Amino acid sequence: MRKGAEKLISGDKLIAFYKSSVTAGRIMAHRNNDEPSKLREFLDGDLFKGLLPFLGLIVILGVMYYLTDGRIMQPKRVRLLLSQVYYPMIVATGVFFVMTLGSIDFTEGSTLGVASIVISELSFYSIPLAILGGILTGALIGAVNGFFHVKFKLQSFIVTICTMYLFRGVCAYMTTETAIPASASIKALDSDGLKIGITIAVLVVAYFIFKFTRIGNDVKAVGSGETAARFSGVRTDKVKFLTFVAAGALTGLAAFVNVIKVGSITATAGNQLETQILISLVLGGLPITGGAKVRFSNIVVGTLMYTVLNNGLVMLGLEAATQQLIKGIVFLIFVALTIDRKALKVIK
């Protein structure tokens, strides 16, 4: 049974919300006969697609604010919310580059699990060694993905699903007996300042690479048109391999942030992280086809949106099944609205 009536969403509010959204839908669907294509053109335009994630974040925040009577904006709630943003945002940054290639990576969850184990074990010797170990573990898994993707010309979709099972298995095997504890000294590092610091540093460096270096440009070029990029002098195989390595390394770094937060690692560490990241980035407006139309803001907006949505649904006291259902619907609507139909092709 659910407890605490104040936590529950009142029936009236749900009905009011439903009514207003139906009205909004009618307004959206209304077509003026004199200008039949203007609205359509705007909805299909790049400007709207670019703004949509920001609008979405505001709408979701607004809706959650309304439904929770403003409780979601209480300082302690905001702090809790932010604490759930750090490591997904770091992971999402790496996956952002993979998806810009037009590829996909399903190994974040299992990578995070394995890297967390390595970090916990090494944390008893030296903290810097533990961090390094985590990053290297992630990079190594990324290298395995990249190697099979590039050398055997397998689609990243297939490769990373296989390696996801593989490393999930490794993670489960190492944690069969008992959960793996981390040292007290690493847990003592847990502070908002450090976590914010690492997250911002990752974002800044990644933004710089994405915007102002050749490798960032090459990643985008491969995503937009791999053959033409190759004929323009881009070493496409190298770019793809390095991107997977970098994504793995970032997940390894995120594992460090995870370990200082949770303190001990169980078989379920990082479970379902890959879908969370994928949903976040798509919510943030990242076209799943990658290429020219990706925006760096996709990472930040998307991760925030997912976390707000997730937290709001929990605060509303909805059952897990209902939460999943609602998340599924929101995800579907966003993919339908943001996907670039002109660039549709199979994910590499």
User: Which parts of this chain interact with other proteins (CB under 8 A)?
Assistant: 41, 211-214, 217, 220-221, 224-225, 227-235, 291-293, 340, 342-343
Class of residue 124 by CB neighbours under 10 A (exposed 0-12, middle 13-18, buried 19+): middle
Length of the chain as a residue count: 348
The number of beta carbons lying within 10 Å of the beta carbon of residue 88 is 26
Question: Which residue number, 293 or 348, has a Cβ lying nearer to other proteins?
Answer: 293
Is the distance from CB of 83 to CB of 237 less than 8 angstroms?
no
Phi-psi region of 126 (alpha: psi -120 to 50; beta: other; left: phi over 0): beta
SS3 234: coil
DSSP string, 279-327: HHHHHTT--TT-GGG--THHHHHHHHHHHHHHHHHHHTT--HHHHHHHH
Q: Which is nearer to other proteins, 202 or 229 (CB)?
A: 229
Which CB, 128 or 212, lies closer to other proteins?
212
Residue with smaller CB distance to other proteins, 41 or 319: 41
Residue whose CB is less far from other proteins, 102 or 248: 102
What's the min distance (Å) between Cβ of 296 and other proteins? 13
Nearest distance in Å: CB 103, other proteins: 16
Residue 97 is inside which H or E element, if any?
A: helix 86-100
Q: Would you say 244 and 149 are in contact if contact means Cβ atoms under 8 Å apart?
A: yes
DSSP H or E segment with residue 195: helix 192-212
Nearest-approach distance from CB 138 to other proteins, in angstroms: 25
Q: How far is the CB of 151 from other proteins (least distance, A)?
A: 14
Nearest to other proteins of 150, 260 (CB atom): 150
Minimal distance in Å, beta carbon 44 to other proteins? Answer: 10
Q: Is 139 exposed, middle or buried (0-12, 13-18, 19+ CB in 10 A)?
A: buried
Residue 232 CB, nearest approach to other proteins (Å): 4
